[in-house]
Amino acid sequence: MAIADGQRATAAGKKPTIASRVASICAMIDEHIATETPMSASRVAAVYSMIADVADAVAEARNKIGRRRRKSYPGITRRYEYEELRSLGDGSTADVTKARHHATGHTVALKTIREDCCSGAGYILREACFMAACHGHPALLRLHGLARDPDTGVYSLVMECLGPSLHHVLRDRMARTGRPFPEANVRLIMRQLLSGAEELHKNLIIHRDIKLKNILVAVDGAVKIGDYGSALSIAGQNADDDYWAAGTRKYRAPEMLLEKPGYDTLVDMWSLGCVMAELLTGEALFKARCDSDQLYMIYDVFGVPGKREWKPYESSFVADKVPVWRREQAQQRRRGQWNGNRLRELFPEELLSMEGFEVLKGLLACNPSKRLAAAAALKLPWFADK
């Protein structure tokens, strides 16, 4: 097995960063997944031990102490130590179940990759690694450990169990009141989500599937980003085919829709802009049936990219359509039917203040080089203590 970046750093006497350690572990996991062979229990335990060490390092740095008295994660527990209570949801590749630990009485969520979907242990470990890298952050779902079913050999993530998703809360609010969240509530939610994104991005992790259904709401109203099944570490060397259009179409950034190799953490910022817009209106900002139509809807609001800006995408699947869209928009402009960026028309000042719009506009910049990073967004006046 190749020596990964984190191991090289250790060999050279340098302390590897959390980002490099995560990239190293993910590379090992991906290397095994590529063999299409089951991962042995001893191999899973060895990789999990490395993941637990990452969580301990994060907790140590976060608490600013030199030594941890307690491990962040216990050893791999057995699935029958938990009493399954009810299903919390079935995704495209995984099932999530609410459960109670028999000995402690603690309520947890168990996430299990379905055996017919992929190499379960490998994908469970990848997700655990991303969660360990941000262990203890208040806006990111917390991992408690791993559990194994001794009868089937299937592994599950053991996670904190929160309330409903933000999607459910918004739908319930719309059904009861007919109104989405007011700006003050959206500001509180976005501050937390941007803080979580900042932590992920600091460790060179792209979530790639931030959406209302993957944001969970606690009893006290706090929100946390969950589901790291599509996440990607960009601290190491990634192949071009790692940069596929992950996640959910209506939250994908333009460069992700175009499957541009080398897209970065800024795709998450676009997703957060879409989340913010949905919280303010109660509806998805862009919702099309295919990627081509999704791009058309985006460009209809923000304008079709000019020739210079479009150059990196000249070989994309919509390369023949963009000149047509550009001509159509030019004709609309001459007729006075289109006057440039229409985002403010969709979010007038009675819906979103000037300071709030500065955040939304920055998150929803089509050109990623002009898009706000999480840390920069949090410094804007909208988030100043009121």
Whether 95 is a known active-site residue: answer no
- Residue 69: what pLDDT? 54
Active-site hit among 90, 116, 172, 209:
209
CA distance 51 to 33: 17
* Judgement on whether residues 30 and 59 belong to the same structural domain of the protein: yes
* Judgement on whether residues 76 and 179 belong to the same structural domain of the protein: no
Is it the case that residue 200 has pLDDT exceeding 80? yes
- Residue 10: what pLDDT? 38
* Judgement on whether residues 176 and 147 belong to the same structural domain of the protein: no
- pLDDT band for 65, please (50, 70, 90 cuts): low
Question: 43, exposed or middle or buried, with CB in 10 Å at 0-12, 13-18, 19+?
Answer: middle
Residue after which a domain boundary falls, among 139, 160, 181: 160
* Judgement on whether residues 155 and 290 belong to the same structural domain of the protein: no
- pLDDT band for 115, please (50, 70, 90 cuts): low
Sign of CA dihedral 245, 160, 143, 218: positive
- Residue 378: what pLDDT? 97
Q: What is the mean pLDDT of the chain?
A: 89
Question: pLDDT tens-digit profile of 310-360?
Answer: 888 888 898 889 889 888 888 887 777 777 789 999 999 999 999 999 999
* Judgement on whether residues 46 and 173 belong to the same structural domain of the protein: no
303-315 burial, b for 16+ CB within 10 Å, e for fewer? bbbeeeebeebee
Helix (H) or strand (E) holding 158: strand 155-160
* Judgement on whether residues 32 and 126 belong to the same structural domain of the protein: yes
Question: pLDDT tens-digit profile of 289-303?
Answer: 999 999 999 999 999
* Judgement on whether residues 228 and 324 belong to the same structural domain of the protein: yes
* Judgement on whether residues 307 and 202 belong to the same structural domain of the protein: yes
Question: 118, exposed or middle or buried, with CB in 10 Å at 0-12, 13-18, 19+?
Answer: middle
Is it the case that residue 74 has pLDDT exceeding 90? no
Q: Quick check: helix, strand or coil at residue 85? A: strand
* Judgement on whether residues 179 and 142 belong to the same structural domain of the protein: no
CA distance 135 to 140: 8
Q: Report which residue type is found at 134.
A: C
Mean pLDDT of 169-196: 97
Residue after which a domain boundary falls, among 160, 185, 200: 160
* Judgement on whether residues 81 and 194 belong to the same structural domain of the protein: no
Mean pLDDT of 217-240: 90
Q: What is this structure's pTM? A: 0.91
Q: CA-based Rg of the chain, rounded to a whole angstrom?
A: 22
Rounded to the nearest 5°, which phi and psi values hold at 15? Answer: -80, 120
* Judgement on whether residues 123 and 269 belong to the same structural domain of the protein: no
Rounded to the nearest 5 degrees, what angle is found at the Cα of 94, between the Cα atoms of 88 and 96?
Answer: 20
Long-range contacts of 105-108 (CB under 8 A, 24+ apart): 107/161, 108/82, 108/144, 108/158, 108/159, 108/160, 108/161
334-356 burial, b for 16+ CB within 10 Å, e for fewer? eeeebeeeebeeebeeeebeeeb
Say whether 202 counts as a known binding-site residue: no
- pLDDT band for 3, please (50, 70, 90 cuts): very low
Percent of the chain past pLDDT 90, that is, above it, reads: 67
Mean pLDDT of 129-139: 95
Contact predicate 6/16, CB 8 Å? yes
Total number of domains in the chain:
2
| Domain ranges, residue 136 | 5-160
Q: Measured in whole angstroms, how far is the alpha carbon of residue 36 from the centre of its chain?
A: 26
* Judgement on whether residues 197 and 109 belong to the same structural domain of the protein: no
Mean pLDDT of 214-241: 90
Residue after which a domain boundary falls, among 118, 136, 160: 160
Sign of CA dihedral 86, 88, 94, 99: negative
- pLDDT band for 173, please (50, 70, 90 cuts): very high
